[in-house]
Amino acid sequence: MTTDVEAPPPAKKEEDERRDSFVGLFLHNLWSANTVTVTVLSILLALIIGAVLIVVSDPDVLSTFSYFTARPSDALTASWDLISAAYADLFRGAIFDPSAFQAWINGTGTWRAAFTPISETLTYAAPLVFTGLSVAIAFRGGLFNIGGQGQAVIGCITSAVAGFAFGLPAGLNLLVALLCGALGGALWGFLPGLLKARTGAHEVITTIMLNYTATLFLSWLILQDGVQDPNRSDAISRTIDASAQLPALPAPLRVHLGIVFAVLVTAGVAWLINRSSFGFELRAVGVNPPAAKTAGMSVAKTYTLLMVIAGALAGLGGATQVLGTADKLTTQVAGNIGFDGLLVALLGRNRPWGTLFAAILYGALRAGGNLMQADVGISLELVTVLQALIVIFIAAPALVKAIFQLRAARAARLGASMAKGW
């Protein structure tokens, strides 16, 4: 019995129970190592380290540090100005720009400009929600779907081709394109799922290999007759019919129906995991395959179906990207959405709603980073560093706990204290 639960000595027990009232427990857990606290502190830590990087990477500010002992105020002021400008841009570019909003109220600007930041954030977030959900649901079933990228790329291809090739009537065209995206991704998920179920081939290996296959297939396909834009000699496909594109708000706003769709799908995935019979199976298989098997579930069938669903979700992510943001295929059309989906799912703790918020946070950092680059001249790469740092801290909760001296969460003891024993 190697429990690390700290039971208080008997004398203190009474006092302890008093503190276990609901309010007491809430206050205790506010500064204890629960997931929300750790997540928030991870973001804070990332921003602090990011601030140091901002200062170090700026030669002008750095030069003020050469005479730091003579006039520390120079260095401190310059650093503060730069950091605050950078993070203010991050905020203004991602969420809310007071000056644009002011202009709209005064009649000198448009409402579109006022809502541009949040529109950008949601535009970047939409595909990540899908790829994040893909990774998250697979993980809940005990599978590491590293193949989100490949599935998303295939989703891009099938939905884009359906979007410019079929020429179906409006409405139906979009529906069919989205469906094709999901089907393409599902196929790309089905293969590793089937291999896992039938032969035990590890899904990490097979999905990584299928990522390469998908990317290279895209590069080849894009140059083929019927796919390549006939007026171009470089690797760009024909443009998707307007009727197959996801409806967006008027330019320059880019946000499209994809984000609404993403919220709906998140709700659907949450329902699927928690309330459906298949969700029950996948959760059981995810944490204890032998027990699931003993209870009569088919582990092989669950793995296969799970990878089909995960693939379909990532495929929808690709479809959202190509039908919403891009309007044609390029070799880079899927960007990094599949791999970012891994990080988004990790940040969201593999829970559907958590993944949605994590995707929005990622979208916000990306959108804000654009302004930061344009305005203060800080490279967009800093955003990537911030994203990476957040994930590192989330992945190493012990580090965060140690830095902030968090107490161990006691939430579990609410339920466990009475039943514990041997």
Give the binding site for another protein (CB under 8 A): 1-3, 5-7, 275-277, 279-281, 283-284, 287-288, 290-298, 412, 414-422
Between 242 and 412, CB nearer to another protein:
412
Q: What is the DSSP string of 299-323?
A: HHHHHHHHHHHHHHHHHHHHHHIII
**Upstream peptide bond of 252 is cis (omega within 30 degrees of 0):** yes
**Which residues is 256 bridged to in the sheet?**
248
The three-class DSSP label of residue 365 is: helix
Q: How many CA atoms lie within 13 A of 201 on its CB side?
A: 14
99 vs 288, which CB is nearer to another protein?
288
Q: Which is nearer to another protein, 280 or 404 (CB)?
A: 280
Q: Shortest gap between Cβ of 421 and another protein (angstroms)? A: 5
Element (H, E) at 372: helix 352-375
Q: Which is nearer to another protein, 57 or 298 (CB)?
A: 298
| Least distance from another protein to the Cβ atom of residue 20, Å | 12
- Of the pair 112, 283, the CB lying nearest another protein is at 283
Task: Closer to another protein by CB, 106 or 277: give it.
Answer: 277
Local structure of 178: helix, strand or coil:
helix
Is the CB of residue 379 less than 8 Å from the CB of residue 4?
no
Pairing of strands 236-239, 328-330: antiparallel
What's the rounded Cα separation, in Å, for the pair 155 and 161? Answer: 10
| Residue the block writes with tokens 């895209």 | 218
CA–CA separation, 395 and 38 (whole Å): 10
| Smallest distance from another protein to CB 272, Å | 9
Q: Report in angstroms how near the CB of residue 163 gets to another protein at its nearest.
A: 32
Q: Which two tokens stand for residue 300?
A: 């092989």
Find, among 262, 235, 231, the residue nearest to 246 by Cα.
262
Nearer to another protein, 266 or 320 (CB): 266
Question: Of 1 and 23, which CB lies nearer to another protein in the complex structure?
Answer: 1
Distance CA 41, CA 44 (A): 5
From CA 130, how far away is CA 259, in angstroms rounded? 10
